[in-house]
Structure 1
Amino acid sequence: MHHFLFALKDHNNTFYRKIILSSQNNMDQECQITKSSLYVTWKNKPAIEGQHGGIVAASFVLVVEVLENLAYLANASNLVLYLSKFMHYTPSNSSNIVSNFMGTAFLLALLGGFLADAFFTTYCIYLISATIELMGLLILTMQARSRSLKPESCLSANRNTKCQEIEGGKEALLFIGLYLVALGVGGIKGSLPPHGAEQFDEDTTQGRKNRSSFFNYYVFCLACGALIAVTFAVWIEDNKGWQWGFGISTLAILISIPIFLLGSTFYRIKLPTGSPITTIFKVLAAAIFNTCFPKNARNAVVSTNRSPTSNSHSKKEEDITEDLTFLNRAVTNTSTFPTFSVTTKQVEEVKIVLKIFPVFLSTIMLNCCLAQLSTFSVQQAATMDTKIGSLLVPPASLPVFPVIFIMILAPMYDHVIIPFARKITKTEMGITHLQRIGIGLFLSIMAMAVAALVEKKRKGVAFQENLMNSTQPLPITFLWVSLQYLFLGSADLFTLAGMMDFFFTEAPFSMRSLATSLSWASLAMGYYLSSVLISIVNNVTGTFRHTPWLYGSNLNHYHLERFYWLMCALSGVNFLVYIIWSKSYKYGSKCSTGSNETQMLCKSSGV
């Protein structure tokens, strides 16, 4: 077990520096060290080029992701119904709890990415996070199995009697289990994708292509896990009991740990290089200090982080750029201002982070739309006819439609669309990251428009059949709701894979795990924004009407179609802002790998 936590041995990485220096001085044919000299094996030995990393190592990550996403979505996709039917929360409260739970899980990916970059490794963070998620699932399984830990059933109560929501210690146990799962999921999401991407050598064109394919197939594996979750696992939950559903999730995450460990001999593991957050704040503080006290910084000089053995052509690369010139003031003479001393390299790294940050902000609205897949969309389907022939389909299995579509589209995108685009554009990327993200943003607009029209049709049937106050299924097939799922599923494929590849590729070497985690943080902010929008809409509409748009225990009384139109309009505005920003963005021409500079062959271009 001591090998799993090797990053804890030396907080300052002195031990690793000795390994690297020793390896560089004794390079021979038997032990060819990787070019970056910043990767080791799980046993603390230098990673060997050709023996560690590559497609085989990344394959273990992909298999683990199938099981991890199965464990997560088996509960998250159906959780809103569990909370409303068994914990007796109202539909609105259930939606908010699910949105906050999923938002927290994805936001905690930032913590996982930060720890992997700064102190631990992606390898260690995954193992720790999987253990935490396993503990949370065990608590939820125990609660679902024990009647004494759930609120009293109200099936025999008078129809006019409101069911009592879960409260007290029972509610505390529920949230402890949920947020232990959220903490574990966040750590896994923040460590597993960059761990897989780190297995590929970015110094070669084929290595970069393989890394791009990895992100496509990572989304494909997400869909594979989701397919099992929303079909088999959801059927088990609805027909055999939630204790069995949570049990499936527990078993899946338990199996994923030894599978991940089986790949240990193949992995190459990036060494932690110190806190990226510290670097960002240090550069910002230095820039502010030198702006507020210009007289003290008058004699400041630009300091580069050039190594003595660097080639002469690297001088141009290390010159400070004119983008975000405010940050250029942070570079000072280290002997004059030791507290605020930063190098040109650190300033340029912070510039990269700040320039990619608008992508993170632009995708929050899309993920707010995606939040509806786990909340109101499931509740819509629950009021409709969920039969396909003689087969009764659980409402939470609706995501099977976009999942199957993603499973078809992801390989097609990688093997058909991208090669064709490369021939047309004559570039390595074919379709740029920003173009791919933009397509996803546009599809989210279409999804919300379709959702509004479908909800209008659903309520129209309820009104015509005089079932507005009834809880029985409406005589309209739930397949209508699948239309919005298809649009949102397509948007998710284009945007999520595009974001992860974009953040990992563009971010500085020392901040890659944290930057990749921004993809999940965007999902988190989207779920939080969904809850905020619901509260704002209810507060605003409640002042002009007796009943807010999204309030009550009967979905037929909601004005959900108006809420969807509002999200459609907000998504449209967000898309226009994204287009304006992305036109001015230029892709980075280099990628920092510790003390070396690796040339990137991707052409600089905007959307």
Structure 2
Amino acid sequence: MAGTNEQQQFHGELSLAESQTKEDIDPKRGGWITFPFITVGVMGLTLASSGWMSNLIVYLIQEFKVKSVDAAQISNIVNGCNSLFPIAGAVVADSLFGCFSVITFSSIVSLLGIILLTLTATLHSLRPSDGETASRLQLGVLYSALMLASIGVGGTRFTMATMGADQFIKGKDQGVFFNWYFFTFYVANVISFTAIVYVQDNFGWILGFGLCMGTNAIGLAIYLVGGRYYRCVKPKGSPFISLARVLVATIRKWNLVLVSSQTQSTQYSYYYVETLDSKLPSSAPSPSFRFLNHAALKTDGDIGPDGSIAKPWRLCTVEQVEDLKSLLRIFPLWSSGIFISVPIGIQMSLTVLQALTMDRHVGPHFQIPAGSFLVFTFISTAIAISVADRFLPSTWSKLIGRSLTPLQGIGLGHVLNIIGMAGSALVESRRLHVVRSHNLEDQTGSTVVPMSALWLAVPLAIVGVGEAFHFPGQVSLYYQEFPVPLRSTATAMVSLLLATGFYMSTTVIDLVQRVTDWLPNNINQGRMDNVFWMVVVIGVGNFGYYLVCAKLYKYQNVDSNCENQEVHD
């Protein structure tokens, strides 16, 4: 979990010193001097991306005349892109250009996308007039702007997390950085969903998007100023090619007799090269996924005169085999996170539609923008991360008698997510009751249901606390458990979960619209509460699947204090 430093330390000496060769480590670079530059960069770029994304549904409805549910669907797709593209950014950073270059290029692309989005709000010819639908040109410009901005997010969001962690050698310092990274990320989201959304609703879209341009430019500039202090890890080629070689070599040597893990065959032996990255105590591969061990068996012609591999698609090192095994071991755990993202995607889009129909006034003169209600999730997450870091480890130890393991922290996030979705269902049931008691089923537009929209904040806050456990916890776990060459990809794996969740949430909403009458364009005539109850059932089933995966999983690199604990406790 992100809140406990003990859980973010690496086992033994597993740290940056093991993930890089000696020539990569410059003692004059890195360390805490880089922290303010990277943190301000994260703040500025997150303010920019959240600023244009947070109120997108309202912008589509008001300025591009998109139907409400369709606007929610578009928002989910864009959210999915914002979460999917970081995987591509991480792969490019790991394989080709390194984190610094990818972040710089992506920040510039993001700025271009926001400039184009601002033009759609500035030029009347780029958006439809009243009573008209958007033309192909107008939609083309809009979608191009959203695509560029999303690509920019892809190259910065989690690549900056890896860039920051690479600046530190000690696992404890890396853990502290992850805490501050997520705290900064959520604080920036709070500001975006309040201040920038308020400006967009009350002072116009031009000024609102202009603020996003400014924060993007400032964040990029500060990040570049710190360039001379950064420790940049050199990419060593695509690690995915190495994983593919293991699969190919396994198939090509499928008929060979495997060597025992205790003894070496006189005919065959395993190819083992001891490096700074090696974590294996011996040259024998582990017994799990035993069929992959074929790839490391040496046969005639596999080794060149200098002792190196002569046929890389026929022979792999034991370390390469173990890297692929580590991914296979953690994949079930990762997959359990998909269905925790689907309810969040559904809740985010439908909450804005609920807020548009409810009383959003706080006092006689102030009205909360509909797009700002998601800020309750970010506020609760930021607070929960801070509180958990201070009090949760000791409290948990006193109550349970053991330290909180990473998997237990993620499990708590699952439970809180289910409770939050049940809360959303109850709030919507109450809203529909008020609608029917006042005969407002046929009322849309400016008609307000006499029920405070602040009721929406309660389930959002519960889900936010859950996020403080499962999302940062998963990033920390994957960073520690993934193979060393895949560190950037590891931090982006949660982003892939979010992307899959948003795309699946779009599919679920579309399916619900097709087979039920729960989500009409006028939600006052529907049964949105049933949608939330449906995702509660999905969440309960997914939590059962997670418990099975967690019980079967054995930590590879997490702190030894956690390693000896039973995962299912």
TM-score by length of 2: 0.88
Letter in 1 for 2:48: A
Partner of 1:409: 384
Go from structure 1 to structure 2 and tell me whether the alpha carbon gap of 1:513 and 1:334 turns closer, same or farther (over 3 Å shift): farther
Whole-Å separation in 2 of the counterparts to 1:456 and 1:448: 12
User: What does 1:39-78 align with in structure 2 at a 5 Å threshold?
Assistant: 47-49=25-27, 51-78=28-55
Letter in 2 for 1:152: S
Are 2:369 and 1:387 aligned?
no
2:146 aligned residue (174, 178, 186): 178
Q: Can you give the 5+ residue segments of structure 1 that lack an aligned partner in the other structure?
A: 1-33, 155-163, 202-206, 542-547, 591-598
Tell me which of the two structures has the higher relative contact order, counting C-alpha pairs closer than 8 angstroms and 6 or more residues apart.
Answer: 2
1:524 aligned residue (485, 489, 499): 499
Go from structure 1 to structure 2 and tell me whether the alpha carbon gap of 1:176 and 1:468 turns closer, same or farther (over 3 Å shift): same
1:139 aligned residue (91, 112, 116): 116
Go from structure 1 to structure 2 and tell me whether the alpha carbon gap of 1:476 and 1:353 turns closer, same or farther (over 3 Å shift): same
Residue 53 of structure 1: CA displacement?
2.2
Kept in 1: contact 2:338–2:498 (CA 8 A): yes
Letter in 2 for 1:187: G
Partner of 1:226: 189
Whole-Å separation in 2 of the counterparts to 1:86 and 1:236: 16
2:20 aligned residue (25, 28, 38): 38
Letter in 2 for 1:320: P
Deviations 1:213-259 (A, max 9, x none): 22222221111111111111001111111122211111111100111
Whole-Å separation in 2 of the counterparts to 1:435 and 1:296: 37
Q: Can you give the 5+ residue segments of structure 2 that lack an aligned partner in the other structure?
A: 1-15, 260-264, 303-310
Deviations 1:70-109 (A, max 9, x none): 1111121211111122111112211111111110121111
Partner of 2:440: 467
Are 2:129 and 1:152 aligned?
yes
Partner of 2:525: 557
Residue 277 of structure 1: CA displacement?
1.4
Number of aligned residue pairs: 534
Kept in 1: contact 2:271–2:283 (CA 8 A): no
Residue 581 of structure 1: CA displacement?
0.8
Whole-Å separation in 2 of the counterparts to 1:581 and 1:478: 38
TM-score by length of 1: 0.83
What SS is found at the alignment partner of 2:451? strand
Whole-Å separation in 2 of the counterparts to 1:106 and 1:315: 34
Letter in 2 for 1:331: A
Residue 329 of structure 1: CA displacement?
2.1
Kept in 1: contact 2:118–2:206 (CA 8 A): yes
Partner of 1:586: 554
Whole-Å separation in 2 of the counterparts to 1:310 and 1:47: 14
Whole-Å separation in 1 of the counterparts to 2:560 and 2:228: 29
Kept in 1: contact 2:182–2:472 (CA 8 A): yes
Residue 366 of structure 1: CA displacement?
1.3
2:235 aligned residue (251, 256, 272): 272
Deviations 1:344-367 (A, max 9, x none): 000001111111222221111111
Go from structure 1 to structure 2 and tell me whether the alpha carbon gap of 1:576 and 1:36 turns closer, same or farther (over 3 Å shift): closer
What SS is found at the alignment partner of 1:269? coil
1:115 aligned residue (92, 98, 101): 92
Deviations 1:141-171 (A, max 9, x none): 01111111101113xxxxxxxxx43231110
Whole-Å separation in 1 of the counterparts to 2:299 and 2:472: 41
Deviations 1:318-348 (A, max 9, x none): 4200112121222232644523211100000
2:288 aligned residue (289, 307, 323): 323
Go from structure 1 to structure 2 and tell me whether the alpha carbon gap of 1:419 and 1:65 turns closer, same or farther (over 3 Å shift): farther
Partner of 2:56: 79
Deviations 1:383-417 (A, max 9, x none): 00000112211111112323222232222222222
Go from structure 1 to structure 2 and tell me whether the alpha carbon gap of 1:363 and 1:336 turns closer, same or farther (over 3 Å shift): same
Partner of 1:367: 341
Whole-Å separation in 1 of the counterparts to 2:176 and 2:257: 52
Residue 603 of structure 1: CA displacement?
2.7
Kept in 1: contact 2:379–2:464 (CA 8 A): no
Deviations 1:513-536 (A, max 9, x none): 011110111111110110111122
Structure 1 stretch displaced more, 523-532 or 364-373: 364-373
Are 2:510 and 1:535 aligned?
yes
Whole-Å separation in 2 of the counterparts to 1:502 and 1:310: 19
Go from structure 1 to structure 2 and tell me whether the alpha carbon gap of 1:288 and 1:604 turns closer, same or farther (over 3 Å shift): farther
What SS is found at the alignment partner of 1:475? strand
Are 2:256 and 1:256 aligned?
no
Go from structure 1 to structure 2 and tell me whether the alpha carbon gap of 1:423 and 1:282 turns closer, same or farther (over 3 Å shift): farther
Go from structure 1 to structure 2 and tell me whether the alpha carbon gap of 1:172 and 1:508 turns closer, same or farther (over 3 Å shift): same
Partner of 1:495: 470
Aligned alpha-carbon RMSD (Å) = 2.5
1:507 aligned residue (482, 489, 495): 482
Go from structure 1 to structure 2 and tell me whether the alpha carbon gap of 1:143 and 1:194 turns closer, same or farther (over 3 Å shift): same
Whole-Å separation in 2 of the counterparts to 1:56 and 1:414: 23
Whole-Å separation in 1 of the counterparts to 2:299 and 2:162: 34
Letter in 2 for 1:444: N
Whole-Å separation in 2 of the counterparts to 1:563 and 1:99: 16
Whole-Å separation in 2 of the counterparts to 1:480 and 1:35: 50
Whole-Å separation in 2 of the counterparts to 1:304 and 1:130: 41
Are 2:270 and 1:302 aligned?
yes
Letter in 2 for 1:263: G
Whole-Å separation in 2 of the counterparts to 1:286 and 1:224: 48
Kept in 1: contact 2:24–2:233 (CA 8 A): no
Whole-Å separation in 1 of the counterparts to 2:475 and 2:507: 26
Partner of 2:70: 93
What SS is found at the alignment partner of 2:439? coil
Partner of 2:7: none
Letter in 1 for 2:535: M
Partner of 2:408: 435
Are 2:298 and 1:333 aligned?
yes
1:418 aligned residue (376, 387, 393): 393
Whole-Å separation in 2 of the counterparts to 1:335 and 1:419: 57
Letter in 1 for 2:463: L
Residue 37 of structure 1: CA displacement?
8.3
Whole-Å separation in 2 of the counterparts to 1:114 and 1:102: 20
